[in-house]
C-alpha cells in the first residue's frame, strides 16, 4: 500500500524554500538522534539552489555535520568541474560553506567516459556504505526531488528504459531527446526512502503537476507519478504558481 502524498502550498518560491530548509534540518536532527546519522540524496537543477544556500546560511554552525552524509539522486554525464554538473552546483551552494568532512560526500563519478561504468561504481558505493545484502535497497533518510516540465524526476525521463528497472540501484539512462546518458538512482531506491521531498516552483510546472497528482495519463509518460513509497513519507512542497491548476489548492 503506497503512502498518501502530503501536498503543501506556499505563496511564493521563497516561502517554499524556507519550508524545505526547515524540513531538511528537522529530518537531519531527528535522524541523528534516532539512528546516529543522516543520509540525504541531493537533487540537481535550478530549484534547489536557494534551498541549499538557506541551509548553509542558517544551519552551518548548528547541525552535526560529521554525522551527515551527502549523496546525489542523479548526475549529468559531465566532469565535476563542468557548469552542468549537479555536484558542482551543490559544492558551490552548500558543500563548500558547511563544515562537513570530505569523506562524507559521495559524488557520482560522472567524469568516467563510460556512463554505465560510472553507474556501476556508484551502485557499489551505495552497497558498501549501506552494507546491503543481495537484493536489498538502501534506505535514505531523505531524498530531495524536483520535477521537470515533462514530468521527469531525478533523471527518470518519460518512456526511458530506467523506468522499468527493478533490481539495479543506479543506472546510466539514455535520454534520446537530450542525446546523452544521465546517471540516476532507480525507482526502487527512491521508493525505499524514509522521506521523499519534492520541490516544485513556477507556473510552467502547473499543468504537469496537475497531471502527476490528479490526472489519469500513464505513469511512464509522467515519471514523477511512479514515486510511490511503500512505507516512507511523500511530501510535495509547491508554490502557488505551480499549484494553480490543482483542485486541492489551499
Query: Domain 5-239, what architecture?
Result: 3-Layer(aba) Sandwich (3.40)
pLDDT digits (tens, 9 = 90+) for 210-239: 999 999 999 999 999 999 998 999 999 999
C-alpha closest to that of 34 among 187, 128, 139:
139
Give the distance from CA 192 to its chain's centroid.
13
- Are the beta carbons of 91 and 50 closer than 8 angstroms? no
pLDDT for residue 3 is more than 60? no
Distances (CA, A) of 119 to 8, 77, 172: 33, 10, 6
Banded model confidence at residue 61, pLDDT cuts 50, 70, 90: confident
pLDDT digits (tens, 9 = 90+) for 85-114: 999 999 999 999 999 999 999 999 999 999
pLDDT digits (tens, 9 = 90+) for 20-46: 999 999 999 999 999 999 999 999 988
Q: Residue 1's pLDDT is what?
A: 41
Banded model confidence at residue 2, pLDDT cuts 50, 70, 90: low
**Residue 50: count of CB within 10 angstroms of its CB:** 19
Banded model confidence at residue 47, pLDDT cuts 50, 70, 90: confident
pLDDT digits (tens, 9 = 90+) for 160-198: 999 999 999 999 999 999 999 999 999 999 999 999 999
Mean pLDDT of 106-130: 98
φ, ψ for residue 60, nearest 5 deg: -65, -30
Its pTM surpasses 0.75: yes
> 44: which 3 cell numbers?
540537481
Amino acid at each position: 500500500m503506497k503512502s498518501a502524498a502530503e501536498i503543501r502550498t506556499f505563496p511564493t518560491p521563497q516561502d517554499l524554500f524556507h519550508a524545505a530548509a526547515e524540513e531538511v534540518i528537522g529530518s537531519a536532527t531527528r535522524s541523528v538522534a534516532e539512528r546516529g546519522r543522516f543520509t540525504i540524496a541531493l537533487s540537481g537543477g535550478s530549484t534547489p539552489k536557494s534551498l541549499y544556500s538557506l541551509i548553509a546560511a542558517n544551519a552551518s554552525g548548528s547541525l552535526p555535520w560529521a554525522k551527515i552524509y551527502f549523496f546525489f539522486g542523479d548526475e549529468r554525464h559531465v566532469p565535476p568541474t563542468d557548469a552542468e554538473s549537479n555536484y558542482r552546483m551543490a559544492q558551490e551552494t552548500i558543500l563548500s560553506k558547511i563544515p562537513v568532512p570530505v569523506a562524507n560526500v559521495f559524488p557520482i563519478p560522472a567524469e568516467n567516459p563510460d556512463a554505465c561504468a560510472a553507474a556501476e561504481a556508484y551502485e557499489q558505493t551505495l552497497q558498501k556504505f549501506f552494507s546491503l545484502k543481495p537484493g536489498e535497497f538502501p534506505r535514505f533518510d531523505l531524498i530531495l526531488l524536483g520535477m521537470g516540465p515533462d514530468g521527469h524526476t531525478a533523471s527518470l525521463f518519460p518512456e526511458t528504459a530506467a523506468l522499468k528497472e527493478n533490481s539495479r540501484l543506479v543506472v546510466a539512462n539514455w535520454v534520446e531527446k537530450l542525446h546523452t546518458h544521465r546517471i540516476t538512482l532507480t525507482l526502487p531506491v527512491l521508493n525505499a526512502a524514509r522521506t521523499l521531498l519534492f520541490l516544485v516552483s513556477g507556473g510552467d510546472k502547473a499543468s504537469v503537476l496537475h497531471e502527476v497528482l490528479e490526472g489519469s495519463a500513464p505513469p511512464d509518460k509522467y515519471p514523477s507519478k511512479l514515486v510511490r513509497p511503500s512505507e516512507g513519507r511523500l511530501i510535495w512542497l509547491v508554490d502557488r504558481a505551480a499549484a494553480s491548476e490543482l483542485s486541492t489548492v489551499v
